[in-house]
């Protein structure tokens, strides 16, 4: 079971006059693969001028796990923490919005420096918006217990989108994304299993081993994704949305995501949302559950996330807003429950995962 919870609270005041805000949140996740994640978050924002805004975000991910990958490597339950700082600056120039951000992330065996630049232009009296962004990061990968293990990876991506208001009741989004990853794209903790004529060699993966070898993915991956999102209001209280996303990369992974949702206003203060999403993907070309020892291919992985899989997810959301005073101070709470099912047809160690995600959120607007 997966349990996810977001509990934002406000460490300071948010003022519509000053534009200064401070917020905190904590995210908790537990799943049937014996992994728990706790992620507190702090967000500070303040205007530099009437058209310029500065954002600072700190996030910590503390996770403990004894997942199937860790158990197969004869490793006890591990606990790790990742700390991340994001600094962003945004500027509005008439119909043009510009923003940039820097991100630093660190954990005991991984460090990352990243940045992004974004631009959005409103056209045709705000009925059309064209946006583009570029992102990049340079990461260093280490391995616990091995001070000599030092690898580097880099990622660069671009995104272009077109949002078109069709009439007073609907709009369409078109999105294209291109990403390129280079360097060390494997995990030093993930292994592949060996099979011979008698069948799979069972046992625990302790490298070097006669029954396991470390995975070795290609040192480059190019990804493409295109998405279409349509939303339509039906009267004053109901809106419907639908989305399709197609993904392909040069590892031969192809995926399709289809989702549909509805939002319903229940009076002036309540909002009900329902969403269903289906996801399916093919396997990477070099994925195998087991490999022959002779010859052992250079490219190899038994990562279940690179195996053929499909998933179903149903999301139910209920939110309520309270107006606290004449100045318009608003308190909003949201409860989200999402059962999900993931099937790994070619991963013999974990055929499926049944999950339940739950989110509880509280937000204060002054």
19 vs 131: which has the higher pLDDT = 131
What distance in Å separates the CA atoms of residue 295 and residue 284, rounded to the nearest whole number?
19
Does 214 reside within a domain? yes
Per residue in 98-141, pLDDT (tens digit) is: 999 999 999 888 899 999 999 999 998 889 999 999 999 999 99
Q: Among residues 178, 90, 104, which one has the least CA distance to residue 134?
A: 178
What distance in Å separates the CA atoms of residue 167 and residue 123, rounded to the nearest whole number?
15
What distance in Å separates the CA atoms of residue 228 and residue 231, rounded to the nearest whole number?
10
Does 230 reside within a domain? yes
- Check if the beta carbon of residue 34 is closer than 8 Å to that of residue 77: yes
Does 282 reside within a domain? yes
Per residue in 343-366, pLDDT (tens digit) is: 998 988 788 888 887 777 777 666
pLDDT at 111: 94
335 vs 176: which has the higher pLDDT = 176
pLDDT band at 63 (very low <50, low <70, confident <90, very high): confident
Does 35 reside within a domain? no
pLDDT above 80 for 339: yes
- Check if the beta carbon of residue 310 is closer than 8 Å to that of residue 343: yes
Average pLDDT, integer, range 181-197: 85
pLDDT at 196: 64
**What's the whole-model pTM score?**
0.85
- Read off the DSSP letter of residue 71: H
Does 20 reside within a domain? no
pLDDT at 233: 94
Per residue in 295-306, pLDDT (tens digit) is: 888 999 989 999
What distance in Å separates the CA atoms of residue 321 and residue 105, rounded to the nearest whole number?
35
Does 23 reside within a domain? no
Domain encompassing residue 103: 46-365
What distance in Å separates the CA atoms of residue 192 and residue 212, rounded to the nearest whole number?
6
- Check if the beta carbon of residue 239 is closer than 8 Å to that of residue 263: yes
pLDDT above 90 for 277: yes
pLDDT at 33: 67
Does 34 reside within a domain? no
The answer to which of 84-88, 176-180, 205-209, 301-305 has the lowest mean pLDDT is 205-209
pLDDT above 70 for 211: no
**CB-based contacts of 197, cutoff 8 Å, min separation 6:** none
Does 178 reside within a domain? yes
**What φ, ψ does residue 69 adopt, rounded to 5°?**
-65, -40
Complete DSSP assignment for 24-52: EEEEEEEETTTEEEEEEEEEEEEEEETTE
What distance in Å separates the CA atoms of residue 107 and residue 40, rounded to the nearest whole number?
15
pLDDT at 205: 61
**Structural domains counted in the chain:** 1
CATH code for the domain in which residue 126 is found:
2.40.160
pLDDT above 50 for 8: no
213 vs 98: which has the higher pLDDT = 98
SS3 for 263-288 is EEEECCCEEEEEEEEEEEECCCCCEC
The answer to which of 22-26, 73-77, 118-122, 301-305 has the lowest mean pLDDT is 73-77
pLDDT at 3: 38
- Read off the DSSP letter of residue 216: B
In the chain the first and final C-alpha atoms are separated, in Å, by 37
pLDDT at 135: 97
């Amino acid at each position: 079971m997966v349990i996810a919870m977001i509990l934002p609270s406000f460490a300071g005041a948010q003022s519509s006059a000053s534009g200064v805000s401070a917020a905190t949140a904590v995210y908790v996740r537990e799943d049937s693969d014996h992994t728990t994640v706790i992620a507190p978050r702090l967000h500070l924002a303040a205007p530099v001028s009437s058209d310029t805004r500065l954002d600072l975000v700190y996030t910590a991910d503390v996770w403990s796990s004894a997942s199937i990958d860790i158990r197969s490597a004869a490793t006890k339950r591990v606990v790790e923490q990742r700390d991340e700082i994001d600094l962003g600056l945004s500027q509005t120039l008439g119909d043009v919005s510009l923003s940039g951000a820097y991100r630093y992330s660190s954990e005991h065996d991984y460090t990352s420096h990243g940045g992004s630049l974004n631009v959005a232009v409103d056209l045709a009296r705000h009925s059309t918006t064209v946006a583009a962004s570029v992102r990049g990061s340079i990461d260093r990968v280490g391995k616990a217990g091995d001070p000599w293990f030092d690898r580097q990876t880099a990622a660069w991506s671009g995104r272009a989108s077109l949002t078109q208001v069709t009439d007073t009741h609907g709009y369409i989004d078109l999105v294209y994304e291109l990403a390129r990853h280079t360097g060390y794209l494997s995990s030093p903790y993930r292994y592949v299993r060996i099979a011979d004529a008698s069948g799979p060699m069972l046992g625990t993966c302790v490298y070097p081993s006669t029954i396991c070898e470390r995975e070795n993915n290609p040192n480059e991956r190019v990804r493409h994704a295109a998405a279409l999102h349509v939303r339509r209001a039906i009267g004053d209280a109901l809106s419907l949305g639908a989305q399709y996303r197609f993904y392909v990369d040069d590892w031969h992974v192809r995926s399709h995501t289809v989702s549909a949702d509805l939002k319903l206003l229940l009076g002036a203060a309540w909002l009900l949302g329902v969403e269903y999403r289906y996801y399916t993907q093919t396997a990477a070309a070099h994925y195998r559950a087991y490999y022959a020892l002779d010859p052992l291919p250079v490219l190899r992985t038994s990562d279940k996330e690179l195996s053929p899989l499909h998933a179903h997810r149903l999301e139910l959301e209920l939110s309520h807003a309270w107006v606290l005073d004449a100045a318009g101070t608003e308190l909003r709470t949201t409860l989200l429950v999402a059962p999900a099912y993931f099937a790994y047809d070619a991963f013999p160690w974990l055929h499926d995962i049944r999950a339940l995600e739950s989110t509880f959120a509280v937000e204060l607007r002054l």
